[in-house]
Structure formats: structure tokens, C-alpha cells
């Protein structure tokens, strides 16, 4: 039965990211439903180029928490490392006497795509059941250690972490930039300076200090955190995908 627009809107409007969880052991049928929804995600060329490392060992969970600055790795009901994976694709090809072509750029492109489609299904299914979650880009702060700790073979690249559990913090509705900047018609439309300024103002409430452009700068401008991640991500792609 299709849902009404009001039901769909209410569901997605209620999405918010949680980093503080109650101690809660997820019932097996919830976990089973979430993993089933994960695998129903679309996948490029039917290839399912992704793997999830579920973190269960308490020391490993704490290690992930400290390496990435996200202690909820240790306290969530479920903690995952979400990976692009063409290693298993190689095994499927080998079973019929074929070799994977030299396609590191394609492997990264569709591997991330498949992994994110599946993990976003996982998060949406979890939210349908009343849980909340958090994507964790911070795994890029410690790629070498994380690849080594989880023993990822060549062909497997971490995309991000994902934790899921019962929220122990109040709901917040976080703003988004104007839709007119996101959706273009037929060709890319360059936004005006005032549109840019309006969306920066729209996003102010998401920041601690009230200036969203400065928040973005701490990540993406020169000397920001992403600059430090660029070299290590490039090195991991070289090592894991021969990129």
C-alpha cells in the first residue's frame, strides 16, 4: 500500500543524527530485518560491491571510537565499518576463469556507490523501526590502522562508519540549503552571490558559532581537516585498488 505524502514527509523530516545512545541490545528480528533491507538496495551491474564489518569486540569498538573521535562506536547497539569491495567480485570472476580488469577508478566509483546505497537503506530501515544512527566520516582520520585492524584484503576500501541504536539525546531538526541550489533544470544553474549568502544564513543554526561558511572552512579550506585526509586516502586507494 502506498503511503500518503504526509506520511512520507513526516518520516523523513524526523531524521536526525545521533551520537549518544542508550545501552540497548537489539532484538535479533530487528537486526535481521535491517540486514535484509540493506541487501535489497540497488547495486550497479548486479555486482554488490560492498562489505560491512560489524564491530562486536568491545576493545575494537573502543579503539575505533578513539581513532576516529567518535566514542559512540563503543556504545551503539550496532557499529559498522562500511566498505567498497571488489575483492569478492574478483573471486566471483575467478570462479569462471576470468580476471578483474585494471579498473581502479571504476571500482572506487561503483564500490562507493553500492556501499552507500546499501548503508543508506540500512539507516532508513533502522529509522523505520524507531532507531537513530550516525554516519562517521572520521574513519578517514586513521585509514591505515583501520585497514590493518579489520584485516581488509586488497580490493576493499573503507568508505565511512555507521552506528545505530536508541537515541539518548533530544531530537533536533537540522536545516538544509535552499532546494533551488540543489535541483537544476536541464543545465547547471550558477547561483547568485545573494543566494549563496542566504543559504549560508539558513545553515547558521547547525553551527556552534553561528557562521556556517567558517564551519565548512575548518573542514575543506587550506589547513582544514580534509587536507590532512587527502594524502592518506590517496595512499589507501593506491594500496587497496592499485589506483
Residue 242 CA: distances (Å) to CA of 85, 108, 206: 13, 11, 39
Q: Does residue 110 contact residue 49 with C-beta atoms inside 8 Å?
A: yes
Closest distance to a copy of itself from the beta carbon of 201 (Å): 10
Q: Which is nearer to a copy of itself, 25 or 190 (CB)?
A: 190
Q: Does residue 157 contact residue 111 with C-beta atoms inside 8 Å?
A: yes
Closest distance to a copy of itself from the beta carbon of 19 (Å): 12
Q: Which is nearer to a copy of itself, 38 or 75 (CB)?
A: 38
Q: Which is nearer to a copy of itself, 68 or 121 (CB)?
A: 121
Q: Which is nearer to a copy of itself, 25 or 96 (CB)?
A: 96
Q: Does residue 158 contact residue 139 with C-beta atoms inside 8 Å?
A: yes
Sign of torsion over alpha carbons 220, 84, 16, 42: positive
Closest distance to a copy of itself from the beta carbon of 241 (Å): 11
Q: Whole-angstrom Cα distance, residue 135 to residue 120?
A: 9
210: phi then psi, degrees, rounded to nearest 5 = 90, 0
> 98, 88, 96, 75: which is closest to 22 by C-alpha?
75
Angle between helical axes of 212-220 and 225-241 (0-180°, round to 10):
40
Q: Which is nearer to a copy of itself, 75 or 84 (CB)?
A: 84
Closest distance to a copy of itself from the beta carbon of 64 (Å): 10
Closest distance to a copy of itself from the beta carbon of 69 (Å): 13
Amino acid at each position: 500500500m502506498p503511503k500518503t505524502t504526509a506520511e512520507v514527509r513526516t518520516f523523513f523530516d524526523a531524521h536526525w543524527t545521533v551520537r549518544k545512545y542508550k545501552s540497548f541490545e537489539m532484538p535479533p528480528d530487528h537486526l535481521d530485518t535491517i540486514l535484509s533491507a540493506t541487501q535489497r538496495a540497488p547495486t550497479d551491474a548486479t555486482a554488490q560491491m560492498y562489505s560491512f564489518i560489524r564491530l562486536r569486540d568491545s576493545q575494537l569498538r573502543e579503539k575505533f571510537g578513539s581513532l576516529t573521535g567518535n566514542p559512540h562506536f563503543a556504545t551503539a547497539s550496532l557499529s559498522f565499518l562500511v566498505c567498497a569491495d571488489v575483492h569478492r567480485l574478483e573471486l566471483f570472476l575467478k570462479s569462471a576463469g576470468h580476471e578483474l580488469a585494471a579498473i581502479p577508478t571504476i571500482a572506487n566509483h561503483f564500490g562507493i556507490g553500492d556501499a552507500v546505497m546499501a548503508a543508506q537503506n540500512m539507516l532508513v530501515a533502522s529509522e523505520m523501526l524507531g532507531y537513530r544512527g550516525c554516519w562517521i566520516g572520521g574513519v578517514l582520520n586513521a585509514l591505515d590502522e583501520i585497514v590493518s585492524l579489520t584485516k581488509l584484503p586488497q580490493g576493499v576500501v573503507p568508505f565511512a562508519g555507521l552506528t545505530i541504536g536508541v537515541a539518548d539525546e533530544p531530537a533536533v531538526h537540522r536545516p538544509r540549503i535552499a532546494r533551488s541550489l540543489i535541483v537544476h533544470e536541464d543545465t547547471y544553474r550558477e547561483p547568485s552571490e545573494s543566494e549563496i549568502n542566504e543559504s549560508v544564513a539558513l545553515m547558521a543554526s547547525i553551527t556552534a558559532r553561528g557562521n556556517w561558511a567558517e564551519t565548512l572552512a575548518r573542514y575543506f579550506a587550506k589547513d582544514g581537516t580534509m587536507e590532512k585526509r587527502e594524502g592518506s586516502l590517496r595512499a589507501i586507494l593506491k594500496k587497496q585498488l592499485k589506483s
